Amino acid sequence: MNTPPLPVALIGCGQIGRAHAGHALRGQDVRVAAVCDPGPAAAALGAQLGVPHFADARALLDAVPVRAAIVAVPNQAHADAALACIEHRVPVLVEKPITDSVAEGERLCAAAESAGVPLLVGHQRRHSPTLRRAKQLIVGGVLGRPVSVHAMAVWLKPDAYFDVAWRREPGGGPVLINLIHDVDMLRWLVGEIVEVQAIASNAQRGFAVEDTAAIALRFANGALGTMGVTDAAVAPWNWDLAAGEAAHYPPQDIDSHYFSGTEASLTLPRLNIYRYRERRGWHEELTQERTIVHRADPYLEQLRHLRAVAEGTEAPLCPGRDGLRTLQATLAVLEAARTQAPVRLAAG
């Protein structure tokens, strides 16, 4: 028997908020029951969806009995909007990064924990069928002991993207906006990051914010990694283009992430596994095996999961503390680049 979709509040109706509204319409798990955004276009979105519109999150939560909320406001407004949901005992999915600072993230996590209200962070890649399969393989020991990982986040943002002032300023660059997804992905698949070294450059665009960075990582389990990010080069080597899971990115048949261990290696998103069938050693022949998983839209799956968490049948896949740790590791990249010194993080 089909159960009716869960009523949710959409707080923030900009680019990603509207995308969430579209996904809610496409899926059967949640329905947007009210929207909140002080911007001029949001009332029209409410009218289009046939739901009430509010300019303030608390006013919405006082008036409409929602069972969950999605917070898709600018980073600096995440904490306040999510705290309003927690005060109203409404499970909340906060877009990434959890907040704009570690201190605000701590405050938010503490509030959610003491109220016992689920807090989820929108690292949607964790809902990708490809990454779920990769996680099964890695956790299942197919690679043996993790040795190294190499992640690429290389693409060209169009010039018009930078017409918005904050995207040219520190905090608006590819490390905090984009690479944070790769940091979360590596933490989820390989384990906790305990040391970060980095160099960054603004030489391509000349803005105050970085356009390119090269990063070295040490994981708690002893594995090492590298990440390269730029939004100023022509290349297909990034997760979104390679995975082709989001409709607005034309998919490419390439890999962007490489994992190696003592027994085998794995490329993503193509899920190629390389290992020795018989004798081991660099002169021996490697066997390649490829798994093709069923495709699914991670944003849609994230909404199904939000419902399951709100109904108490699933635990958050990316709980607040996990999202906070991803923010810390991502901020460590900027700190390491700024100070030209390694940044060490607690093992967890």
Ligand X SMILES: NC(=O)c1ccc[n+]([C@@H]2O[C@H](COP(=O)([O-])OP(=O)(O)OC[C@H]3O[C@@H](n4cnc5c(N)ncnc54)[C@H](O)[C@@H]3O)[C@@H](O)[C@H]2O)c1
* Residues near ligand X (CB under 6 A): 11-17, 36-39, 57, 72-75, 77, 81, 95-96, 122, 124
For the bound state, the minimum distance from the C-beta of residue 176 to ligand X, rounded and expressed in Å, comes to 8
Both tokens assigned to 321 = 């503390």
Cα–Cα distances in angstroms (integers) from residue 326 to residues 19, 181, 257, in the given order: 23, 9, 18
Half-sphere exposure of 303 (CA within 13 A, CB side): 26
Q: Which is nearer to ligand X, 75 or 212 (CB)?
A: 75
Per DSSP, 295 falls in state P
Q: Residue 12 or residue 146: which is nearer to ligand X going by CB?
A: 12
Q: How far apart are CA 335 and CA 314, in angstroms?
A: 35
Q: For residue 131, what are its two tokens?
A: 């990454």
Residue number with CB closer to ligand X (82 or 264): 82
Tokens 């680019």 identify what position? 15
Closest distance to ligand X from the beta carbon of 97 (Å): 6
Cα 145 to Cα 14: distance, rounded to the nearest angstrom: 43
Least separation in angstroms between residue 80's CB and ligand X is 7
Query: 304 near 27, Cβ under 8 Å?
Result: yes
On the CB side of 286, CA atoms within 13 Å amount to: 13
CB of 72 to ligand X, least distance (A): 5
Nearer to ligand X, 16 or 147 (CB): 16
CB nearer to ligand X: give 194 or 300. Answer: 300
Q: Tell me the residue number closest to ligand X, measured at CB.
A: 14
Q: Which amino acid is at 338?
A: R
Shortest spacing between CB 57 and ligand X, in angstroms: 5
Query: Which residue, 74 or 141, has its beta carbon nearer to ligand X?
Result: 74
CB of 35 to ligand X, least distance (A): 9
